[in-house]
Amino acid sequence: MSDLISRRDLFSTKIFQTIFKHQSPEDLSLPEKRREESLLQYFDSPLHSYPLLNEMPLDMLIAEARVQGIPTGGRSKNEIAKALFLKIDSLHR
């Protein structure tokens, strides 16, 4: 039971760590600009980002955005998630 992680930990830290730390060799060779464009395209398409946004509760997303210093007022769930992913990506470069 102690090796299980909470849903909050999964969505606030583990997903980001997995996405940004365990990349394939092809991803590591992409220039930074291309990588940022890929993230933007992911969130620009509702078909791509819907599964992630559907599983991530809004209150957890807002809490993590506030921890990262991202403003959340008047923004959609998609906009907050996009800003959060871009912020976390820039921190891990």
Question: What average pLDDT does the chain have?
Answer: 77
Q: Quick one: what percent of the chain has pLDDT higher than 70? A: 63
CA pair distance 42, 10, nearest whole angstrom = 20
Does residue 2 fall inside a structural domain? no
Does residue 13 fall inside a structural domain? yes
In total, how many domains does the chain have?
A: 1
Average of per-residue pLDDT across 11-38: 63
Does residue 76 fall inside a structural domain? yes
Which residues constitute the domain of residue 85?
7-91
Does residue 47 fall inside a structural domain? yes
8 A C-beta contact, residue 26 and residue 68: no
Q: How many Cβ atoms sit within 10 Å of the Cβ of residue 81? A: 22
Does residue 1 fall inside a structural domain? no
Q: Could you tell me the pTM of the whole model?
A: 0.61
Does residue 42 fall inside a structural domain? yes
Q: Residue written as tokens 């993230």?
A: 39
Specify the range with the lowest mean pLDDT, choosing from 21-35, 38-52, 76-90: 21-35
